[in-house]
Amino acid sequence: MRSPRLKLREESAVYHCITRTVNGEFLLGDQEKEMFRRQMRKAARFSGVEILTFCIMNNHVHLLVRVPNSTFPSDDELVRRIEVLYGKNSKQMNWVNDDVVRNNEISSRIRECFGSRMGDISEFMKTLKQRFTIWFNKSHDRFGTLWAERFKSLIVEDYWDSLSAVAAYIDLNPVRAGIVKDPKDYRFSGYGEAISGKKNAREGLQKCQSRKGWKNCLRDYRKLMYVTGACAGNRNKASIPEEHVIQVLKEDGELTLNQLLRLRIRYFTDGSILGSKLFVEEKLRVFRNRLGTRRKKGACPLGAIKDRELFIIRKLRTGSIG
């Protein structure tokens, strides 16, 4: 059964969002990935959300996004956001400027039009996907849909234990896909951008860590992404074979989070809510009707991880690995 897409209201929240191209086609080359990255930053600035990390692959995109507690921006800030997304000479900015001239301020009509798009994960993803589709279709002389379906999302506890695990899972996508051996060599990701010196990418990753300062953050984050010692052999190689991991899980054995992050873990994409036991059970009560359950307790541990306690709402029926 597919996990429902849940959205928290009137409180800050972090989401792991995944969106795929139509039919899973490999439509995103380097040029397309770069344009998506640029439009992602603009859409985030417009919507007032924070990109903690991201990874743009050939046929899908991962985003770890913090949506702050919704507060409507001031008039000046609203104008700046509209200009960032649409451009100084756009028809949207002309409409705003004409409105200001007539009313000496931003009218309620302008506020209503753009206000509903602020601080909302659905509106942010809609804005980003629609604007990229327009550019893509125009650039490739095509028409029609580009994305397979509405995006999937996982609510992630806004605490470093959960954030760093999901962030590392996202940044390791190109390693799992065999594109690079070292995630720093993939420039269309938050980690790759941070290593290259991009300030906003570094700030995003620092917000996923308990350590202060970029050097400390980088050290801990890189340790999380790499398995050391006997488990890995060469640090530039994936940790252990998938079949070995599956066998360990069948035997109720435990693995380090580092080892599991090198595999595709469906709990990080299809688990609905991920975090500490207290966090998951609290959200379970909030979404009890949506989830079709009367349980008020019963967060399920993300099994087989021996160095971190992470929980989800319910265990997947099939294929948690792979």
Alpha helices in 140-189 (DSSP H): 160-171, 173-176
Helix (H/G/I), strand (E/B), else coil: 18: strand
Interhelix angle 199-206/214-225, rounded to 10 degrees, is 70
pLDDT for residue 210 = 79
Beta partners for residue 60, in sequence order: 20
Classify the phi-psi angles of 211: left when phi > 0, otherwise alpha if psi is within -120 to 50, otherwise beta.
beta
Backbone angles phi, psi at 274, to 5 degrees: -135, 135
CA distance 180 to 13: 31
Are 163 and 156 within 8 A, CB to CB?
A: yes
- What residue spans in the chain does CATH classification 3.30.70.1290 cover? 13-70+123-312
pLDDT for residue 241 = 56
Question: Which residue's structure tokens are 């770069």?
Answer: 34
Are 221 and 209 within 8 A, CB to CB?
A: yes
pLDDT for residue 229 = 29
CA distance 199 to 302: 33
Low-confidence ranges of the chain (pLDDT < 70): 1-4, 227-256, 259, 262, 271, 292-297, 303-307, 316-322
pLDDT for residue 3 = 57
Single pTM value for the model: 0.85
CA distance 214 to 138: 40
pLDDT for residue 238 = 44
Cβ-based burial of 29 (10 A; exposed 0-12, middle 13-18, buried ≥19): exposed
CATH of 13-70+123-312 given 3.40.50.300, 3.30.70.2860, 1.10.3720.10, 3.30.70.1290: 3.30.70.1290
- First vs last Cα of the chain: how many Å apart? 17
